[in-house]
Chain A
Amino acid sequence: MNIIVVGLSHKTAAVEVREKVAFSPTQMEKPLQAVVALPDITEAVIVSTCNRVEIYATTRDVAGGMARLKRFLAEYHNVPLETLESHLYSYHGEDATRHVFRVASSLDSMVVGEPQILGQIKTSYGYAAEYKSSGIILNRFLHKAFSVAKRVRTETKIASSAVSVAFAAVELAKKIFGELSDKTVLLIGAGEMCELAAKHFINTGVRGVMVTNRTFERAEKLADEFSAKAVRFDDLFDHLPKADIILSSTGAPHFIIHEKDVDEVLRRRKMKPMFFIDIAVPRDIDPKVNNVENAYLYTVDDLNGVVATNLEQRKIEAAKAEAIVEQEIGQFFKWLSSLEVTPTIVALRSRFDELRKAELAKTLSNWKDLPPGAEKKLDALMNAYMNKLLHQPTSVLKRTDPGNRNDLYVDALRNLFDLGDAATPQETMVDLED
């Protein structure tokens, strides 16, 4: 049995293409059942996120299976296959396993290490399990992918550093203040980035938020949104000493906070540290503010720098993660190949046994003057001969070292000795630890 993957992602297709073949999460039953109804496809899971659409399936016929999945994607969404073809990738065997392990571990994500993808795959798998389109192989396969993702998460620092400006600001604030639960954030002006950062601070749990704007009504509106306190812009310096974290992004053409202001404000708050984040371009806060004792000023460029460094760090961690994925692929394959080995050996033996018994019976029925005990001896001889014959191929089949193509041998034996298709795979032999 082979695992195949067909799909497209942010790496191969623009959003205009991706949205055409996306599956609605509320209606997964129909496509899942349509895929398992395809000839030669036994199990299927469909993953559809804003960055990728992929079908994982099991089949005996790799090339045919892939072609059918591609055609299904095109026909189901009424997109001509010719326009879709160039965006699609397809994998089987080890490559398919590697691909799914990497996707689940967020190594194939747009922002490497972002944590959402794992949850999305879990949800997709949930649908497949609910509508019974996944079976023993894909169940095991996806659980393995989840455990690989978990290993990557705990053993590497792939997701430990902030890779967005807003998150970087929160992380830095934590490095200055430690706990943020007794800290107050002041928002000066309104801008998308500024509001996003404010939201991150609120999610982290700050004590309070103040909002100010040149037009007080806008401040009030924003304050409502954040359940914050609106402050008049003219009273800015009265409220500044109460703020620990200042997020500024006004449209002012000149600096609105100067070195001497901050010097005075810090005195008024007994030199308790202040963290200024200047997101405005042109800047709102005089860079000399950073020279003031216990004041720390970061501009949007500084934060971008932090993000860039963290992304570099993630690349290093990603290499460690790739190594973990490789290791786990080997383990999974041991299990996958062992699935078919045992039934094949059993079938092979019983076929040989049948032949032995039939031939023996035929010979004995024509043999009149047989010395006593010869019947038993003949039977033992045939039996020993059969065992000798089967010993070598059986032990090769049972070998689990990498590079041993058990799947090839299984297929060959089944064809050569006409053993029929593998019966329902059983979970035996090499068991994977989860």
Chain B
Amino acid sequence: MYNAFLSLLKRDLRLAFRHKSEILNPLFFFVIVVTLFPLGISPEKQTLAEIGPGIIWVAALLASMLSLDSLFRSDFEDGTLELMLLSEYPLSVMVLAKILVHWLITGFPIILFSPLLGTVMFLSPDAIVTLMITLLLGTPILSLIGAIGMALVVALKRGGMLLSLLVLPLYIPVLIFSANAVGSSMAGLAISGQLYFLAAFMVFCLTLAPIATSAALRVSLE
């Protein structure tokens, strides 16, 4: 089982690195969306520092959601997913490997880039550290919850819009706690409560989301 997990992980990572746009596009999207807000609202330091945490988080959320297609789409189209369903290994374990890859190619680059965006949004150094911690705890949740939604719509031709309708309401707790933690650390307040919540929510999703995702995949592939 462990071997199946690892080999799937390796295969998906290799595939992702051969299509570099799969890694770069979400990242570019993330950077561009954040750039739009100073242009649309105001370049003033105070305004940007106030709205910065929320904007960076909303952009990360959208980038993660829009890249969900890479999770199952190509495997669905060439029949690999069907073979995974039929294999002797538990589907939820393999789903977890795919989710991990999705996080590595979308969530992780976002975390690496976030200090840059935090700086251009005039966040304080402390807040930037907090931003990275919240992204580290929060982006896996986005991949995990997103996988459930993607599994439900994978068989549909035009699932993109529907996916956002299914997934975005479920992202709300992550957004609330993360953006608030960053804002609070700007104001010099304690943030441990928010981080504990995010960590707890991540463990919760890590436990249940693969099961829900595999149930959804079984429905979609019937």
A-B complex is real: no
**Residues of chain A having any CB pair with chain B under 8 Å:** none
